Amino acid sequence: MTADVHALIGPWAVDAVDDDERAMVERHLAECDSCAQEAAELREAVWRLSDATIADPPPRLRARVLHAASRTRQSAPVPEPEPERRPEPKRLRRHRGLPRLRLALAAGALAAVMAVVGGLVTWSVMRSQEPGATDADRIAAVLQAGDAEVGTVTAEGGGDVTVVRSEAMDQAVVVVSGLAAIGQDRSYQVWMVEPDGQVSAGVMDPGERSATMLVSGLGDAELVGVTEEPAGGSEVPTSPLVAGVSLQG
């Protein structure tokens, strides 16, 4: 039975199976990592076969499709599979006396951040392969914004977290540098804490202690905080803040 499924992955990738076989293959792919890997690779090769059949559709199709789309409700996203054991939703406690943002009037403060970010920008750029505005450009734009505000805090266990925010741009740059060493099975995660809970702003690579990230859409976030989580991050924080910068002026 299993052997049959394996022999069907090739035909499945080009839709040369019947409905029952397709269902059987897809059930197997959900359970077998190595087959799922091969199937994904075959799919990436197969679609390129359509390079050879590109053809201009009749011009009228465009208006029809756009019109139909404007009247079609979009599906709800498929929910992420539930983790086996879901931690109790925890709220990050708001701390008193956290450092607050200050208007970066002193060019010195911004220059200091630039020095840190400048060194780390490579990190972001390497991960963004699209042409045009790179993360580096967007980070620089926030740092140079006329209304840029800066706040820095020393993290528990060492290192610091610096937040530069432009309210006008509704963006912030979060610079995490030299936090306490963690194993490859742990990640630092950055959170935006809002009045009714928190949202993840980004998860650093496992074991990584320094990063620069651009956060867009600050909304009514009150605090930028960092926690240590299992590698890959958590849906809700599972440990107390190692650092937090208040966004309230």
Partner 1 sequence: MPALEQLLHSTALGDEQAFATLYDEAAPRVYGLCLRVLRDPAQAEEVAQEVLVEIWRNATRFDARRGSAGAWITTIAHRRAVDRVRSVQASGERERRTAYGEEAGYDAVAETAAVRLEHRQVRRCLQTLTELQRQAVTLAYYGGHTYRQVASLLGTAVPTVKSRIRDGLLKLRDCLEVAR
Q: Which does 32 bind (CB under 5 to 8 A by kind): Zn ion, partner 1, none?
A: Zn ion
> Taking CB under 8 A as the rule, does residue 70 contact partner 1?
yes
d(Cα 101, Cα 50) in Å, to the nearest integer? 53
What is the C-alpha to C-alpha distance for residues 197 and 193, in angstroms, rounded to an integer? Answer: 6
> Counting contacts by CB under 8 A, is residue 26 touching partner 1?
no
| Residue 165, helix vs strand vs coil | strand
Among 1, 33, 53, 81, binds partner 1 (CB under 8 A): 53
Element (H, E) at 23: helix 19-31
35 touches, from Zn ion, partner 1, none (C-beta below 5 to 8 Å by class): Zn ion
112 or 125: CB nearest partner 1: 125
State residue 155 phi and psi, 5-degree precision. Answer: -80, 155
Interface of this chain with partner 1, residues 108 to 167, rule: CB under 8 A: 129-130
Q: Is 136 helix (H, G, I), strand (E, B) or coil?
A: helix
Site for partner 1 contains 50 (CB under 8 A): yes
Shortest CB 30 distance to Zn ion, Å: 11
**CB of residue 207 to partner 1, shortest distance in Å:** 20
Among 2, 20, 31, 55, binds partner 1 (CB under 8 A): 55
CB contact at 8 A, 191 and 203? no
Residue 82 binds partner 1 (CB under 8 A):
no
Q: How many residues of this chain bind partner 1 (CB under 8 A)?
A: 47
CB atoms closer than 10 angstroms to residue 101: 21
Helix, strand, coil in percent for the chain, rounding step 5: 35, 25, 40
Contacts with partner 1, residue ranges (CB under 8 A) = 7-11, 13-18, 40-58, 61-62, 64-66, 68-70, 72-78, 129-130
